[in-house]
C-alpha cells in the first residue's frame, strides 16, 4: 500500500465506520444501518414506553455541518431517529437521538449544531389520524413551544388549559385533577405530577429522561388523542425529542405513550414515507456519449448550463453548480428520470470564478477578487449573507485556483499574493496558501505549478502541473502547526493531460465504487476523461485507469449524499451524473 493510503488509512476507517455495515439495496423491512443502532434499540426494549417501534425503517446519509465531510448516517424508526455522530474535530463517535419534536414544532431542520433551515411546521395531527379539531397538530403546537413560563409548582389549581388543532388555548374543566410538580429551569417549563412520578420510576432504566425525551419546550395541555380511532382526553407536552402523551382513562401500564414522530418527521421533510428505499437509482437523461467502467451508468443531470466550472453539495444536501459567468445555481428539484428540473440563483456577480467549497453552512468561492463566502439564512435557496474572506490572494486561473477546506476548517487555495506582478519572477510563481481570514500564509515547499488541490479529512493533496511533464499528485503535510509541503508522490497522470478537478471517494453506499478511490477530471488536446486511482498494495504508486470517458472538458467533480458522482463538463454545458446500474439491466 502506497504511503498516502497508509498515512490516511485511519481517515478512511473513521469516515467509513458509519456506513460499513450498510446494505447496498434496502428491502421492504430495512435492517439496522449500524450495529450501534441495533445495540441502542435492543437496550431500550421492554420498558414501560415503546420509544422506537417494532422495527427500523429507512436509513439515509443526511447533511450535517459539524460531521466529517458535512454528512452523517441516520436511521428512522416509527418514533424517533438515531444519528451516528462523528465529530470532525476529534473523530469521537456516539449515537444520539434526533430532536424531531423540536424541529417539527419550531419549523427548523437541523443541518448542524447551530445551522438550521426553515420549513413550515406540518399541519399533521400528532396521533397520525385524519384532521380533528380537538387533536393538536405540529403546526398548532408551534404556537406554544419555546415560550418560557414562570414556576407554577406552588399553584394549587389543577392543569385546566386545553389546546386544539390550531394551537388555540382555552380553559375548561380537566377530566382528572393533575397539578404542576416540577419546574425545569433549563427551558423554563413546568412538568405535571404524573410525569414527575413516571420519571421517579426510572422507566428508561439507567438512562436519564433528558437523554430520551430532551427538555420540555411547552407547558402540558389537555387535548384529544386517538387510540385505534377513538379519541380520549389526554395530557400532551412537547419535549425536544419526543411528545409525551398521558391518557388517564387507559389501563395503568398503557397511560403514557409517544407519537410516531419518526414517521411524521420523514413525511414532513422528504415528502415520502419512511418505508421507501433509499438511495434510489435514477440515472437522469440518456448520455450515450459517456462511457463508464462496467457496472455503472452515466446520465445527463443538467444541460444548457453556461460553462459549469465548479460543483459542490450545499449545506442542505442539494447540488450547487458554479458557472464561468459568475453565477451559482442551486438545484431544488428533479424530474422522474433523476435529472435536475428546478433551480434557484444562489449567488451571482462573481468575476472569473475558479471553484467552490462548502464548510459549516458557508459556500466559499474564489474569483479575481480573492475569496468570498455566501450563506442562505432563510432556506429559500438564495444567499442573503455575503462576506469577503480574503483579498490578499489572487487565485491561480481556472480550476487550479479552486479553494478546498479540510475537516478542521482550514482553507487552502493556490495562487499568488496580490501585487506580486510588481515583484521579481520568484514572487510571481504560484504557491499554495492557507487562508486564515483575512490573511493568508504560504504553505512551505517548492511547487511546480500547483493546482487543483483536494482534501481528504485532514490530508491535503496538491496536483503539480509543470510544463512538459505529466501532472502528478503529491502529498502535503499540513501538520498541527504551520503547513509544510511534502514531496511524496501519490500518482502520475498520463502525459498530455491537464488535471481540472479531483476528489477522494469516501462513500460506501455502492459496491461498484471502492472507497478511497481518487478521481481526477482531466483534459487532453482532443478528449476529456475522469481517471481513477484505486488504493493499491506495496509501495508502488497506484495504477491510473480511465473511469469515464466521452467528455469534452470535464472541469469539476463532487459526490452527492447518496454516493452519486457528478461531473461538470464545461464545454458541453452539462453536468453528468454517474450511478450504479440497476441490477439486471444491461
Confidence class for position 18, pLDDT limits 50, 70, 90 = very low
**Mean pLDDT on 444-471:** 86
CB 51 within 8 A of CB 42: no
Higher pLDDT, 12 or 247: 247
CA-angle at 445, arms to 441 and 447, nearest 5°: 100
Alpha carbons 384 and 367: distance in angstroms, whole number: 19
Confidence class for position 339, pLDDT limits 50, 70, 90 = very high
DSSP classification of residue 216: B
Q: Which of 138-142, 298-302, 332-336, 488-492 shows the lowest mean pLDDT across its residues?
A: 488-492
SS3 519: strand
- What percentage of the chain reaches a pLDDT higher than 70? 89
pLDDT at 13 over 50: no
Higher pLDDT, 537 or 74: 74
Confidence class for position 459, pLDDT limits 50, 70, 90 = confident
Q: Which of 3-17, 300-314, 492-506 shows the lowest mean pLDDT across its residues?
A: 3-17
Q: What pLDDT does 504 receive?
A: 92
Higher pLDDT, 277 or 82: 82
Confidence class for position 14, pLDDT limits 50, 70, 90 = very low
SS3 266: helix
- What percentage of the chain reaches a pLDDT higher than 90? 72
Q: Which of 389-393, 395-399, 566-570 shows the lowest mean pLDDT across its residues?
A: 389-393
pLDDT at 87 over 80: no
Q: What pLDDT does 537 receive?
A: 62
Q: What pLDDT does 23 receive?
A: 47
Alpha carbons 297 and 437: distance in angstroms, whole number: 42
What is the DSSP code string of 88-128? Answer: TTT--EEEEE--HHHHHHHTEEESSSS-EEE-PPP--BTTS
Identify the CA nearest to 456 among candidates 1, 3, 2, 5. 5
What is the pairing mode between strands 296-303 and 517-523?
Answer: unpaired
Q: What pLDDT does 443 receive?
A: 85
Q: What pLDDT does 47 receive?
A: 78
pLDDT at 10 over 90: no
CB 373 within 8 A of CB 365: yes
Confidence class for position 507, pLDDT limits 50, 70, 90 = confident
| Average per-residue pLDDT for the chain | 89
pLDDT at 278 over 90: no
**Mean pLDDT on 377-391:** 93
Residue 88 sits at φ, ψ, to 5 deg, of -65, -30
Q: What pLDDT does 486 receive?
A: 44
Alpha carbons 36 and 575: distance in angstroms, whole number: 37
Half-sphere exposure (CA, 13 Å, Cβ side) for 257? 19
DSSP classification of residue 249: T
pLDDT at 1 over 60: no
The sign of the dihedral angle between the CA atoms of 26, 85, 321, 519 is negative
Q: What pLDDT does 539 receive?
A: 64
CB 416 within 8 A of CB 429: yes
Identify the CA nearest to 328 among candidates 301, 304, 315, 309. 309
33-47, 184-198, 273-287 — most confident range: 184-198
Burial class (CB in 10 A: 0-12, 13-18, 19+), 525: exposed
**Mean pLDDT on 561-571:** 96
Q: Which of 173-182, 345-354, 490-499 shows the lowest mean pLDDT across its residues?
A: 490-499
pLDDT at 419 over 80: no
Amino acid at each position: 500500500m502506497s504511503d498516502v493510503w497508509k498515512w490516511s488509512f485511519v481517515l478512511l476507517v473513521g469516515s467509513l465506520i458509519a456506513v460499513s455495515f450498510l446494505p447496498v439495496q434496502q428491502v421492504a423491512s430495512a435492517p439496522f444501518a449500524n450495529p450501534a443502532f441495533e445495540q441502542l434499540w435492543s437496550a431500550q426494549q421492554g420498558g414501560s414506553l415503546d420509544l422506537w417501534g417494532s422495527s427500523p425503517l429507512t436509513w439515509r446519509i443526511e447533511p450535517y455541518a459539524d460531521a466529517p465531510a458535512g454528512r452523517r448516517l441516520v436511521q428512522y424508526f416509527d418514533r424517533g431517529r438515531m444519528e451516528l455522530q462523528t465529530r470532525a474535530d476529534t473523530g469521537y463517535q456516539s449515537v444520539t437521538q434526533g430532536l424531531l419534536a423540536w424541529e417539527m414544532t419550531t419549523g427548523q431542520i437541523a443541518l448542524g449544531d447551530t445551522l438550521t433551515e426553515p420549513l413550515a411546521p406540518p399541519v399533521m395531527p400528532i396521533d397520525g389520524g385524519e384532521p380533528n379539531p380537538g387533536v393538536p397538530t405540529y403546526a398548532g403546537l408551534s404556537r406554544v413551544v419555546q415560550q418560557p413560563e414562570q414556576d407554577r409548582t406552588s399553584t394549587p389549581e389543577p392543569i385546566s388549559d386545553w389546546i386544539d388543532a390550531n394551537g388555540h388555548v382555552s380553559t375548561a374543566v380537566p377530566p382528572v385533577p393533575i397539578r404542576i410538580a416540577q419546574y425545569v429551569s433549563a427551558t423554563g417549563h413546568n412538568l405535571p405530577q404524573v410525569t414527575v412520578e413516571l420519571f421517579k420510576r426510572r422507566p428508561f432504566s439507567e438512562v436519564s429522561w433528558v437523554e430520551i425525551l430532551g427538555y420540555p419546550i411547552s407547558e402540558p395541555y389537555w387535548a384529544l388523542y386517538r387510540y385505534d380511532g377513538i379519541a380520549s382526553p389526554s395530557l400532551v407536552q412537547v419535549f425536544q425529542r419526543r411528545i409525551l402523551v398521558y391518557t388517564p382513562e387507559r389501563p395503568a401500564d398503557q397511560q403514557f405513550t409517544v407519537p410516531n414522530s419518526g414517521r411524521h418527521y420523514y413525511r414532513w421533510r422528504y415528502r415520502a414515507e419512511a418505508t421507501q428505499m433509499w438511495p434510489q437509482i435514477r440515472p437522469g437523461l440518456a448520455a450515450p456519449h459517456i462511457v463508464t467502467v462496467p457496472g455503472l451508468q452515466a446520465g445527463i443531470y443538467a444541460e444548457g448550463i453556461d460553462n459549469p466550472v465548479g460543483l459542490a453539495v450545499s449545506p442542505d444536501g442539494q447540488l450547487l453548480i458554479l458557472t464561468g459567468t459568475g453565477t451559482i445555481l442551486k438545484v431544488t428539484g428533479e424530474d422522474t428520470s433523476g435529472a435536475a428540473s428546478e433551480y434557484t440563483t444562489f449567488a451571482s456577480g462573481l468575476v472569473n470564478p475558479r471553484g467552490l467549497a462548502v464548510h459549516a453552512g458557508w459556500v466559499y468561492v474564489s474569483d479575481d477578487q480573492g475569496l468570498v463566502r455566501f450563506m442562505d439564512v432563510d432556506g429559500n435557496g438564495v444567499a442573503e449573507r455575503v462576506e469577503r474572506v480574503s483579498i490578499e490572494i489572487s487565485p491561480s486561473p481556472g480550476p487550479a485556483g479552486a479553494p478546498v477546506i479540510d475537516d478542521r476548517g482550514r482553507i487552502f487555495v493556490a495562487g499568488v499574493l496580490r501585487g506580486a506582478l510588481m515583484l521579481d519572477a520568484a514572487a510571481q510563481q504560484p504557491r499554495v496558501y492557507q487562508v486564515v481570514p483575512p490573511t493568508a500564509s504560504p504553505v512551505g515547499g517548492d511547487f511546480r505549478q500547483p493546482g487543483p488541490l483536494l482534501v481528504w479529512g485532514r490530508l491535503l493533496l496538491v496536483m503539480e502541473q509543470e510544463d512538459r511533464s505529466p501532472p502528478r499528485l503529491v502529498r502535503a503535510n499540513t501538520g498541527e502547526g504551520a503547513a509544510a509541503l511534502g514531496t511524496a508522490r501519490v500518482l502520475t497522470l498520463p502525459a498530455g493531460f491537464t488535471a481540472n478537478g479531483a476528489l477522494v471517494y469516501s462513500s460506501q453506499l455502492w459496491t461498484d465504487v471502492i472507497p478511497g478511490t481518487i478521481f481526477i477530471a482531466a483534459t487532453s488536446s482532443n478528449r476529456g476523461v475522469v481517471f481513477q486511482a484505486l488504493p493499491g498494495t506495496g509501495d508502488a504508486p497506484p495504477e491510473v485507469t480511465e473511469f469515464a470517458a466521452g467528455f469534452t472538458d470535464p472541469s469539476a467533480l463532487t459526490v452527492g449524499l447518496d454516493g452519486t458522482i457528478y461531473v461538470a463538463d464545461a464545454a458541453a454545458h452539462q453536468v453528468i451524473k454517474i450511478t450504479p446500474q440497476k441490477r439486471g439491466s444491461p
